[in-house]
């Protein structure tokens, strides 16, 4: 759980930049790559991260753009990346206004009440989980894996 707003902002910045690099590495011809047929593709996982970040923002009482359940998944990775960049910017702006006391405030999310700082920690954890899946799919698709938390095999 984040108890200091600045701690969230620092983690979010590093985490979001890594996720953005992974999304930017997905090519149009490989965006449908999945572990096996019928599982989540690179495109779907990218869109999921955009959508869920918006939902978490809503629960955290932040003004984060969210596509909503009725918006169809964009066809191109460029569109998804642009929407993710808007989400990242919104978090940077909105979270910068949070106080440490607000991180401890209870918000309604995921079927119950929890501190805002806990919800924001879940956001980062969720994104990290799916980004890890995406890096495996990138490698399986024959695409280079960008650095996220340090050098990759391609960089050595």
Q: Structure tokens of 104?
A: 């401890």
Q: What is the pLDDT of residue 149?
A: 84
pLDDT at 152: 84
156 vs 32, more confident: 32
Three-state SS letters, the chain: CCCCHHHHHHHHHHHHHHHHHHHHCCCHHHCCCCCCCCCCCHHHHHHHHHHHHHHHHHHCCCCCCCCCCCCCCCCCHHHHHHHHHHHHHHHHHHHCCCCHHHHHCEEEECCEEEEHHHHHHHHHHHHHHHHHHHHHHHHHCCCCCCCCCCCCHHHC
Q: How confident is the model at residue 38 (pLDDT cuts 50, 70, 90)?
A: confident
Average pLDDT over residues 28-51: 95
pLDDT at 23 over 90: yes
| pLDDT reported for residue 104 | 97
Say yes or no to pLDDT of 68 above 90: no
The percent of residues above 70 in pLDDT, for the chain, comes to: 100
Which of the four pLDDT bands, split at 50, 70 and 90, describes residue 22? very high
What average pLDDT does this structure show over 137-149? 94
| pLDDT per position as a tens digit, 70-117 | 889 999 999 999 999 999 999 999 999 999 999 999 999 989 999 999
Residue 21 has pLDDT above 90, yes or no: yes
How many percent of the chain have pLDDT more than 90? 86
> Any residues with CB less than 8 A from the CB of 143 and at least 6 apart, and which?
25, 26, 27, 30
| Sole residue written with tokens 């956001």 | 123
Say what the pTM is.
0.93
Residue 154 has pLDDT above 80, yes or no: no
């Amino acid at each position: 759980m984040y108890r200091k707003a600045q701690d969230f902002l620092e983690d979010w910045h590093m985490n979001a930049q890594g996720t953005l690099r992974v999304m930017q590495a997905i090519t149009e011809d490989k965006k449908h790559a999945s572990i096996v047929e019928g599982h989540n593709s690179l495109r779907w996982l990218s869109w999921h991260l955009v959508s869920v970040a918006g939902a978490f923002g809503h629960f955290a009482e932040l003004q984060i753009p969210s596509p909503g359940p009725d918006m169809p998944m964009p066809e191109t990775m460029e569109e998804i990346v642009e929407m993710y960049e808007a989400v990242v910017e919104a978090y940077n702006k909105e979270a910068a206004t949070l106080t440490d006391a607000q991180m401890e405030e209870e918000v309604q999310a995921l079927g119950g009440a929890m501190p805002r700082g806990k919800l924001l920690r879940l956001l980062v954890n969720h994104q990290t989980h799916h980004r890890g899946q995406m890096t495996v799919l990138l490698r399986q698709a024959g695409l280079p894996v960008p650095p996220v938390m340090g050098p990759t095999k391609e960089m050595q």
